[in-house]
Chains A and B, each alone.
Chain A
Amino acid sequence: MKLVLWRQNIADPGTLAQLATLAGRVEAAWDGKDGRLVASDITLEAVSGRGPGSGLAVTVDGEAAFGMAPGSAFARERPEVLVKFDSAPVNRRLNVSGIVRGSLEDLRLKFLGYWNYDSWIEHGEVRIFRMEDGVQTRPSAIVALNAKKEGEFAIDGELAKAFEGNELKYVLRVYDAQGRFDETAPKSLKLVPPRRFAEHDGDTNGRRDVHAGTDERALLAGHGRSILSVRNIKLGSGTITVFARHLPKDARLNALGRSIPADASGKAVIEKLVNDGQHDVDVLITVAETARYRVIKRGLIKANDYFLVALGDFTAGRQVIRAVGQPSQTEKIFDARGALYFKGKVRGDVLITAMADVQDGDLKDIFGPLNGRDPRRFLRRLDPDKHYPVYGDDSTIIEDAPTSGRFYVKIEHDNSYVMWGNFRSDFKDTEYGRSSRALNGAKTSIQTGGMTIWGEPVTKVKAFAANPESQSARDELRGTGGSIYYLRRSDLVLGSEEVRVEVRDRQSNITLSSRLLVRGEDYDVDYLQGRIVLNKPLSSTADEGGVFTTGGLYGHPIVLVVQYEYLADPADKKDLIYGARVAHWMNDHIMVGGTMLRENGGRNSQTPFELYGIDLTMRYRPGTFIKAEFAQSFGTAQSAYYSSDGGYTYETRQLLGNGRTARRSPSMPRSISPTCRLQWTGNSLPTTATVSVASPRSDTRLSIRRCSTACVVT
């Protein structure tokens, strides 16, 4: 029910007070009579203009009920405002996209951030790093985003030199009022000015505009998707959405602390994440600074709430096929399926997600090996944009309970959770104890003890135990002079590949230089067939720098190194993989951590792989820290395969045998023997260095690489 007040000047502060008083009386009158209406059913509305009658009039669905001529109707020419009080738990989304603009001399970077929890964010910034730096170090540059979530940054010559290979990476970091931050995963950008079609084919008729359009589209690529990587900000538990339509021209919608103009079709939407409790939403529609229409709507965001959908399905039957001259065939049919999806919220901040899907055939091995992949789950690897069916709508789909088994359970509180389902192991804080595997099993991640002054949780505990959903593999392909390379395995996990070109020393096979390639720009990959197509041919040798060359194949060999995950045959799978990591800040400056990883050998693999590591970080301020890390591994992690003919044939190369020491390079994760590493990064020193020291037993290697040439005295 609505209580509508018609006034010439609705901005008059007394207007809504009068209305509220009347609403109180009406409410009482109704409650006393039959108790059917409750307060939340009454919406207060103030409209500038003349009402249907003089004094008091009642309409039901616009038709006269009282105070107007019987049978007459009252046309609603007012805007329509729909307010949504959604108690469902919120999926936070954070993303950023960047493009390069300008010319070679005057390069400008443009960034556009995206997030859906505005009311929690004080400010956002894009942090720019060199490709080889970690995102924990001091960024090369910081670009603040404005209120429109845009940021622009001009790269001068000095800075451009710092980005080796003309590449950089960037993350978006957003802060709340308490200084806690959320951060995206890094994205990379090549410092190449945008191409002009005019230079290519001279056809400028209309095509330049198309190109300008793709610029804007590239910036909007992150809209609606999330690449959230670090989450520290604590969010509210529900969403309020205000949707207005039939707005007059040039109208603005003001609600929930924001003001936006109506689009061409007279629509506007404002969304806000809120805490649980009762909320009065005050919506004001203005045209040219004049208040025209106002609605106050009261609603409740529940602290305890749930959503459940379940299906029990049972089919039994008998099918008889009779054909002339043949014995009749009888077949019994029996089908059963039980499935449910549950999403609940307890006390506003504990979230429970559960999914189960069991078919009759599953009952014998309900908790058995989880390697039965469900063909219906193919959707997960299907990019709907790449396949033929075009649906022509902008609806979004989120897989809230990803699992390749039959169950999914996740219990979350703040930033800690316990779960069973599909996940990534996601150990990325240290250099040696890294693990980023797609797994199906149990995982827990607990953050406690408050925050350090740098906005990081004091204690972090992560542990997982799982059956690997996929296997990792590493193929090395000698450059053939061509651009098509076949990987050893097909059926790759989407986005799991890391492709780099390495130049190896002709004598010792030590990696001399290495460059990470970017999908889309440098290569394309066919995930189903396991094929890499480079945009430029890769020659087999690099110039050695010598004065004399002896023959055509003289020089350092060039190798294409591809590290990827593939969906393995169940028989090839390793039994169990588990790991744990604990990191604790003793105070705001000293952190100690420990990592353990273990993979049991599967049927086809030989020995289990184990890794133990400890690490110590001393931080003076963000960007200035000393990191010491010690790690030891046992057993075989994986084999590398080498091909000299573009992937038609492969030979095995063991990365690490028992008791043998192998060289550690950044592209060879987890293949290390007793190794320690000391990293010093400072911003008050002229140069900084990372020193990696392998064990002094056999293939000792000491590599010193300069991390930064910029001298920043603060």
Chain B
Amino acid sequence: MPAGGELLLRLKLVVGAGLRPGTTNLAHVEDGTGAVISNTARAAVALVPDPTLECSELISKVFDDKNRNGYQDAGEGGLPGIRLATVSGFQITTDEHGRYHFPCAVVADLRRGSNFILKLDTRSLPAGYQLTTENPRVIRMRYGRMGKINFGAARPPLVEIHISDVGKLSGKSDLAQALAAAPRICTRATGAIQSR
């Protein structure tokens, strides 16, 4: 090699098993003293994740949180047709029983996991329903492990005015009287509506 000349070295990368996602192989030439005397060659290895072992799945439910405590208790069924969205533009719609899944939601960092965000589109809730759990929700996904994000929603306290015979009522005054007679409960109910 002449002094001051250039030498082009082509390197071949042999990929073995045991590789982790996001690996980049770097190569440079050193002289006898360990000083770098070349540019650094880079070879990124794209590793296709195995859906069963490396991906983190998401399996959960959107439920009718009747007692508004944020947890799914006995007798609290699912809410069908609720739409959830990820930041990568995926729209998930729950099934008849409020269940949903998102396969390979994220290939999490092997050592410390990765954050994952999911937001429930409140427009897809039945009229009057409000969320009782955090929305949007961020969880830490672990490498190859399954994640869970449950969403609960409930209708506000239901105030019902039952009229058995319209003929017996003398219109507004009776109704107003009835409502005035139960101000405490109605205020409690509307207060609950207001606070959500």
Contacts and interface: CB of A to CB of B under 8 A. Distances in A.
Contact of A378 (B48, B88, B90, B169): B48
A85 B101 contact: no
Nearest to B104: A379
Nearest to A333: B112
B133 interface: no
A30 to B, nearest CB: 8
Contact of B51 (A41, A62, A389): A389
Interface centre among A36, A297, A388, A395 (most CB of B within 10 A): A395
A29 B52 CA distance: 60
Contact of B89 (A5, A52, A297, A400): A400
B121 A58 contact: no
A29 B109 CA distance: 59
Interface residues of B, number: 77
A594 to B, nearest CB: 34
Contact of B161 (A34, A56, A85, A333): A56
Contacts of A243: 80-81, 126
B56 to A, nearest CB: 10
Contacts of B91: 397-398, 400
Interface string A165-187: 00000000000000000000000
Nearest to A342: B89
A309 B86 contact: yes
Contacts of A65: 159, 182, 185-186
Interface string B155-196: 001111111111011011011101101100110111001100
A91 to B, nearest CB: 8
A59 B123 contact: no
A400 B188 CA distance: 42
Interface centre among B81, B121, B157, B162 (most CB of A within 10 A): B162
Given A2-B160, A378-B104, A58 B178 contact: yes
Contact of B164 (A6, A25, A34, A313): A6
Given A53-B164, A65-B182, A373-B46, A305 B93 contact: no
Interface of A: 1-6, 18-19, 22, 25-26, 29-30, 34, 36-37, 40-41, 50-62, 65-67, 74, 82-88, 241, 243, 267, 269, 297, 299, 305, 307, 309-311, 313, 315, 333, 335, 339-341, 343, 353, 355, 357, 373, 375-376, 378-379, 382, 384, 387-389, 391-402, 408
27 contacts: A1-B160, A3-B163, A4-B161, A6-B164, A25-B172, A26-B179, A29-B176, A51-B162, A55-B169, A56-B162, A57-B161, A60-B188, A66-B179, A67-B178, A74-B162, A84-B81, A88-B121, A88-B124, A307-B121, A309-B117, A333-B112, A341-B85, A355-B88, A393-B97, A398-B91, A400-B85, A400-B91
Which 4 interchain pairs have the tightest Cβ spacing?
A: A401-B89, A393-B99, A82-B126, A394-B95
